[in-house]
A = this chain, B = another copy of it.
Amino acid sequence: MAEIPVLQNILEANEAMAAQVRSRLERAGVVALNFIGAPGAGKTSLLEQTLPRLHGRLSVAVIEADCATARDAGRIKALGIEVVQINTGTGCHVPAHLVLQALDRLPLERIQLLIIENVGNLVCPAELDIGESGKIAVISVAEGDDKPQKYPMLFRQCCAVVLNKVDLIPHTDFRRERFEGDLRTINADVPLFGVSCRTGEGVDAWVNWLIGQTTAR
C-alpha cells in the first residue's frame, strides 16, 4: 500500500500552490469559479451563452483546460474575452501550479471574475483545491438523472449546479424530479439552474446569480 503517502505528497504540493493562487486573487479582488463537468456537458457552450450577457456588467477572464487542443480557448477568444489555454496532456485535471502560471498571463487588476474551465471530468477535479472561490458543477440532461449519488464528491462541494441541455428532456428518459431528489440527498441547499445553451432557456437566471457572487464578496 505505497499509494497513500505518495498521493498525499502530491496533494500537499498542490495545496501550497493553491494557497498562492488564492492569495494573488484575493489581493487583486478577483472571484474565481472553477467549472467542472464531464466531457460534453456543455461547459464551453455555457460560457458562450454567459459571457456576452456579462458585457458591461462584469469584467471577466477565462482559463481553459483540456488534455489537448486550443479549441475551447478559440471559442472564448472569438467573444473578445481574455483567455489562457492550459493543455494538461495526459493530466485529468488542472493542478494549482498551472493556474498560478496562467495568472501571470492575465490582467488581474482589470478583472472581477476569473472563470476556470477544468478538463472534462466529473471525478478528479472535484477533490482538488486550485485556489478557486468556488466550484460550479455542470451536468447535461443526456448524462442521465442518476449522477449526483454516483459522483457525490463534486455535487457535495459545489456552490451551484447548472443542469444543461434541458431542451433534450423530451427526447430522453431523464426525469427532472429524480435528478433533483438525487441531488438533494447529497447537497440539500445548492442552487440549481436548468438551462439550454442551444435555446438560451434559463441562462438569464444563472447569469444574475453569477453576478451576485462577485458583488456578495
A interface with B by C-beta (< 8 Å):
2-3, 6-7, 9-10, 13, 38-40, 66-69, 71-72, 90-92, 119-124, 127, 140-144, 146-147, 149-153, 165, 167-168, 171-173, 198
Among B7, B13, B122, B142, point to the contact of A120 (Cβ < 8 A). B122
Q: A39-B122, A67-B151, A90-B123 are in contact. List 19 more A-B contacts (CB 8 A).
A: A3-B10, A6-B9, A7-B10, A38-B39, A38-B40, A38-B120, A39-B147, A40-B140, A40-B143, A40-B147, A67-B123, A69-B150, A71-B149, A119-B123, A120-B150, A121-B122, A123-B124, A141-B142, A142-B165
The answer for the CA separation of A57 and B145 in the assembled complex, in Å, is 33
Among B6, B144, B167, point to the contact of A40 (Cβ < 8 A). B144
How many Å from the CB of A93 to the closest CB on chain B? 8
The answer for the CA separation of A149 and B92 in the assembled complex, in Å, is 15
- Nearest CB to that of A144 among chain B residues? B40
B6 touches A150 (CB 8 A): no
How many Å from the CB of A1 to the closest CB on chain B? 9
- Of the A-B pairs whose beta carbons lie under 8 Å apart in the complex, a sample of 21, sorted by A's number, is A2-B10, A3-B10, A6-B6, A38-B40, A39-B147, A40-B140, A40-B143, A40-B144, A66-B150, A67-B150, A67-B152, A68-B151, A69-B150, A92-B121, A120-B150, A121-B121, A121-B123, A124-B124, A142-B168, A172-B198, A173-B198
Residues of B within 8 A of A127 (CB): 90
The answer for the CA separation of A153 and B167 in the assembled complex, in Å, is 31
B2 touches A146 (CB 8 A): no
Among B90, B120, B142, point to the contact of A153 (Cβ < 8 A). B90
The answer for the CA separation of A93 and B150 in the assembled complex, in Å, is 13
How many Å from the CB of A183 to the closest CB on chain B? 14
The answer for the CA separation of A67 and B148 in the assembled complex, in Å, is 11
How many Å from the CB of A185 to the closest CB on chain B? 11
Residues of B within 8 A of A152 (CB): 67-68
